[in-house]
Copies of this chain bind each other. A is one copy, B any other.
Amino acid sequence: MPTKRVPLTKERVLRTAIAVADERGVEGLSMRKLATELGVEAMSLYHHVANKHALLDGMIDIVFSEIDPPAAGGDWKAELRGRGLSTLAALRRHPWAVGEMEGRGTHGMANLRIHDAVLGCLLGAGFSEPMTVSAMSVQDAYIYGFALQQVDMNPETPADFAAVAAQQMVDYEAMLADFPHLVRVVGGHVAKVGYDYDAEFLFGLDLILDALEQRLPER
């Protein structure tokens, strides 16, 4: 209703799509709803984006652009720790992203940029070329996997919450009998309020970075 004069651009389409997905989940993002949000008809979007797949490609690369790349000169462990935290933060701001990153053949410029920086950081630290590939692979798998698990904790459709709670109770019934370790450990430590996801994330990230340091040729 307000600024109806501002013209449609690819940038504006992508930014608005991200806002919609952040708010309503990727399930709640349709070309038609996005168009309405932009004060336009659905078909107008196709002048700025080839199709919905390309729309998601663009959205995902914007998420990658929010990640701080590690510097190559300094303390490589600190740099990669910072990059890990920055990645998790971006994926937490855009919880739909991690589930859509897989299977889409193409890689955006921002994606390539941060991976290039990570490789440069590891090579600068003294890792061999094959070891650098492996070292990046473990870190990325861990970071994306952790983000994925975290999304799993916060159900994105609050409408399902009652169903979830009910199912939880059914599970609990069986758990008491069949899953003693889950009852003991999860009941005792995870279910208590204030479970600290950032601390949990850093435990794993530091575990991996320290283990990688031990694989460094010299020292």
Contact = CB atoms under 8 A, between A and B. Distances in A.
A145 interface: yes
Q: How large is the interface on A (under 10, 10 to 19, 20 to 34, 35 or more residues)?
A: 35 or more
A78 interface: no
Interface stretch (A7-15, A31-39, A40-48, A104-112): A104-112
A104 B186 contact: no
A95 B116 CA distance: 27
Number of copies of this kind of chain in the complex: 2
A190 interface: yes
B142 A181 contact: no
A188 B141 contact: no
A4 to B, nearest CB: 35
A46 to B, nearest CB: 16
A160 interface: yes
28 contacts: A101-B148, A101-B152, A102-B151, A103-B154, A103-B156, A103-B157, A104-B155, A106-B164, A112-B174, A116-B180, A116-B181, A123-B185, A129-B184, A129-B185, A130-B189, A134-B204, A137-B200, A137-B203, A137-B204, A140-B145, A140-B149, A141-B143, A141-B149, A141-B204, A142-B204, A145-B146, A204-B208, A207-B215
- Nearest 4 Cβ contacts at the A-B interface: A145-B145, A141-B145, A105-B164, A138-B204
Interface of A: 25, 53, 95, 98-107, 109, 112-113, 115-117, 119-120, 123, 129-130, 132-134, 137-138, 140-146, 148-149, 151-152, 154-157, 160-161, 163-164, 167-168, 171, 174-175, 178-182, 184-186, 188-190, 200, 203-204, 207-208, 210-212, 215
